[in-house]
Structure 1
Amino acid sequence: MTPRLADVHHLKLPVRDLQRSIAWYRSRLGYRVAVEFVEGGALAGVAMTHPAGGPALALRRDPEKAAAAAGFDYFALGVPDRGALHELAAHLTALGEEHAGVHRATVGWTLPLLHDPDGHEVRFYTREHHTEVPADAPLRVAEPREAAEAGR
């Protein structure tokens, strides 16, 4: 039996400074706080929603885990198409955020190397594809970073 699943319920990141991270995700990506979690009288975490369909995002104050997780891209946020990805890149650049720009990736386009205040890599990937993944077998990609850089 294959278990029934729906989609990603939410993403959760550890952060050092909860207010700073809330402000960053609000101003850079448009998230808003929907739920606040208070423990021992202090704000310990939040659940955030996105008004244009992005996945729910939870932020949890945990400085040690935030430091250990810095630099890794745990997930890629979906963007409808390459045009929307270019718009996002321009928006982030206008806000002074460094990133690697839009690149052709394995099956779509990606905007990598944006980092939140804790150093988590926030990566974006288009739902629009330039290459279809076969239904009957895995798509095998040799040296994916080299292929992406070469525009293959």
Structure 2
Amino acid sequence: MPALAGFHHAKVPVSDVERSRDWYQRVLGFEVEIQFIEEGVLMGVGLAHPAGGPGLALRHDPARAQALSGFDLAAITVPTRAEVTEWRTHLDMLGEPHGGIVTGHKGGSVLVGLRDPDGIEIRLYAD
């Protein structure tokens, strides 16, 4: 069977592309790689993180964003458990609410309860 190398990107539905883009940039440090303008309206963006990791695409889709509110859609890998703690400190300094750090199923550290502007949970995970 041919190999798989990981995820290229995850697409997240959002109700307001600009608001979500700004949040993912300010809170998680993502940078815009590409914008999708349709009939003069910003309908999506492709984001990359300068430290690597998965790409994210944000796509205007309010109904799906609302349906996913409260759901933990993605767990983004953090290189070390100590860096999960650094992320908690970073979020606290921003005043960004989260649920703290819990133990993952492999004994790692997981920062839970971080929610984007539509309420979709993004977890930060280190084994």
1:112 alignment partner AA: V
Q: Deviations over 1:100-150 (max 9, x none)?
A: 112222111110111000000011110xx4xxxxxxxxxxxxxxxxxxxxx
- The residue number in structure 2 matching 1:38 is 37
- The answer to whether residue 119 in structure 2 is matched with residue 98 in structure 1 is no
* Structure with bigger RCO (C-alpha 8 Å, 6+ apart): 2
Secondary structure of the residue aligned to 1:74 is strand
TM-score scaled to structure 1, two decimals? Answer: 0.80
Question: 1:95 and 1:30 mapped to 2: Cα distance?
Answer: 12
Q: Within 2, Cα distance between the matches of 1:18 and 1:58?
A: 10
**Is the counterpart of residue 119 in structure 1 residue 119 in structure 2?**
yes
Deviation of the 1:54 alpha carbon: 2.5
Residue 40 of structure 1, CA deviation? 1.5
Q: Deviations over 1:9-56 (max 9, x none)?
A: 101100011111011000001001000111122111010010011210
Q: What are the within-5 Å matches in structure 2 for residues 12-31 of structure 1?
A: 12-31=11-30
TM-score by length of 2: 0.95
Describe the SS at the equivalent of 2:119: coil
Percent identical: 48
Structure 1 unaligned regions, length at least 5: 130-152
Larger Rg: 1
* Other-structure match for 1:60: 59
* SS in structure 2 of the partner of residue 84 of structure 1: helix
Bigger strand fraction: 2
Structure 2 SS opposite 1:48: strand
Q: Following TM superposition, by how much is the alpha carbon of 1:4 offset from its aligned partner in structure 2, in angstroms? A: 2.3
